[in-house]
């Protein structure tokens, strides 16, 4: 039986293949990976706006956006890595590793802070390269490789900081060369009306827009989706799987360095134990935003919305006067609900 129907329109013939299902605009919208997260974000915003009085005030919104931005920058990188089919559990301690390295190298070697930051960037990229190289060459799951990196970097952060500074925190660097310009780039703020906007919010948008462009408008983006969907099939059609995967891990390393520089120039000193556990927040934001744990599906925009949901929930509980100890319970429930909602949207759109 033929699966094609021919419709004549004047001198032209239009061939419709019955095997190809056409979707209307609503169905195309529902199948977007970030759709479930967007609905959830709107619902959470309305909910806390009603029950938490200060939630809708300008200072509160500024605080929410700032808290979401640092999570969002890392969630963007982690989401792109997850689309490529891999995980990085060392991302949280990688942020602290970068800020510690920049601070201690500049302070103890009497360097300009920008030189310390550049050396820290080299180290962060090297960690990302090593993670990616080991995953590709050993065929060991990235979960295990980066779990090992998590513990190793955590140990380095604590042991080296104690060895060099004699304490668990770095020395003050606010009087060193490069402080003012570094703070302007990584930790400044500006006003829009009554809103105090931290520069990390701008960088969050930049990271999200660039990642979205790369994913959907470039050949590299096609490679990332192909590698995450089926690595062997991608390799068979000429996709440079090794370069793509290593590049994705290095992007996570770069993002960790960037956020690490923010913390360094925002708070002057760095606690060596910070960052442990944050890797799960980045993954949660990506999953809430529609990324699949199996790879090959998701968007950077979804990860940004997931980070915003995290920020609204964390601060909304406080503004509502609830016990903040319940936050992790809500975080787990939010993750579960997001996964179910995303699956429901995909299944609905696929059946229509």
Domains in the chain (CATH in brackets) are 4-351 (1.10.3470)
Rounded mean pLDDT of 21-40?
73
Q: Using CA atoms, how far apart are residues 26 and 348, in angstroms rounded to an integer? A: 11
The string of pLDDT tens digits covering residues 12-27 is 554 444 445 566 666 6
Region 68-76 average pLDDT: 98
State the Cα–Cα distance between residues 245 and 236, nearest whole angstrom: 16
Is pTM beyond 0.75 here?
A: yes
Q: Pinpoint the alpha helices (H) of 84-218.
A: 91-108, 113-138, 142-165, 179-186, 199-217
Cβ–Cβ under 8 Å, residues 227 and 241: yes
List the structure tokens of 339. 């996964």
CA–CA gap between residue 110 and residue 104 (Å, rounded): 9
| Mean pLDDT along residues 263-268 | 96
How far apart (Å, rounded) are the C-alpha atoms in residues 174 and 25?
53
Mean pLDDT, range 63-76, rounded to an integer: 97
CB neighbours of 136 closer than 8 A, spacing ≥ 6?
241, 242, 245, 246
Q: Which of 99, 94, 100, 101 is nearest to 150 (CA)?
A: 94
The answer to whether the CB of 290 falls within 8 A of the CB of 34 is yes
Give the separation between CA 172 and CA 96, rounded to whole angstroms: 16
Among candidate residues 128, 71, 120, the one with its CA nearest the CA of residue 248: 128
């Amino acid at each position: 039986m033929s699966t094609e129907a021919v419709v004549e329109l004047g001198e032209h013939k239009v061939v419709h293949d019955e095997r190809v299902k056409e979707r209307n605009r609503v169905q195309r919208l529902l199948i977007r990976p970030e759709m479930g997260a967007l609905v959830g974000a709107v619902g959470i915003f309305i909910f806390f706006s009603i029950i938490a009085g200060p939630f809708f005030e300008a200072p509160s919104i500024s605080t929410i956006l700032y808290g979401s931005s640092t999570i969002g920058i890392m969630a963007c990188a982690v989401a792109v890595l997850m689309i490529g089919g891999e995980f990085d559990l060392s991302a949280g301690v990688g942020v602290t590793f970068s800020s510690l390295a920049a601070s201690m190298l500049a302070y103890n070697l009497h360097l300009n802070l920008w030189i310390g930051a550049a050396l820290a960037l080299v180290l962060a990229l090297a960690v990302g390269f090593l993670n990616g190289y080991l995953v590709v060459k050993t065929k060991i799951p990235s979960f295990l490789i980066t779990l090992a990196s998590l513990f190793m970097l955590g140990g380095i952060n604590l042991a080296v900081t104690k060895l060099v500074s004699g304490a668990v925190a770095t020395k003050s660097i606010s009087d060193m060369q490069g402080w003012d310009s570094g703070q302007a780039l990584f930790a400044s703020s500006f006003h829009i009306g009554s809103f105090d906007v931290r520069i990390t919010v701008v960088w969050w948008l930049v990271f999200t827009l660039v990642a979205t462009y790369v994913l959907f408008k470039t050949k590299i983006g096609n490679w990332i989706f192909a590698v995450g969907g089926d690595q062997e099939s991608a390799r068979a059609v000429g996709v440079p799987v090794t370069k793509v995967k290593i590049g994705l891990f290095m992007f996570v390393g770069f993002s960790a360095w960037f956020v690490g520089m923010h913390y360094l120039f925002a708070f002057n000193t760095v606690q060596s134990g910070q960052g442990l556990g944050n890797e799960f927040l980045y993954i949660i934001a990506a999953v809430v935003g529609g990324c699949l744990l199996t790879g090959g599906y998701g968007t950077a925009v979804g990860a940004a919305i997931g980070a915003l949901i995290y920020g609204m929930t964390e601060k909304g509980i406080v503004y509502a006067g609830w016990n903040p100890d319940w936050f992790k319970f809500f975080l787990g429930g939010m993750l579960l609900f997001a996964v179910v909602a995303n699956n429901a949207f995909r299944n609905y759109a696929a059946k229509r």
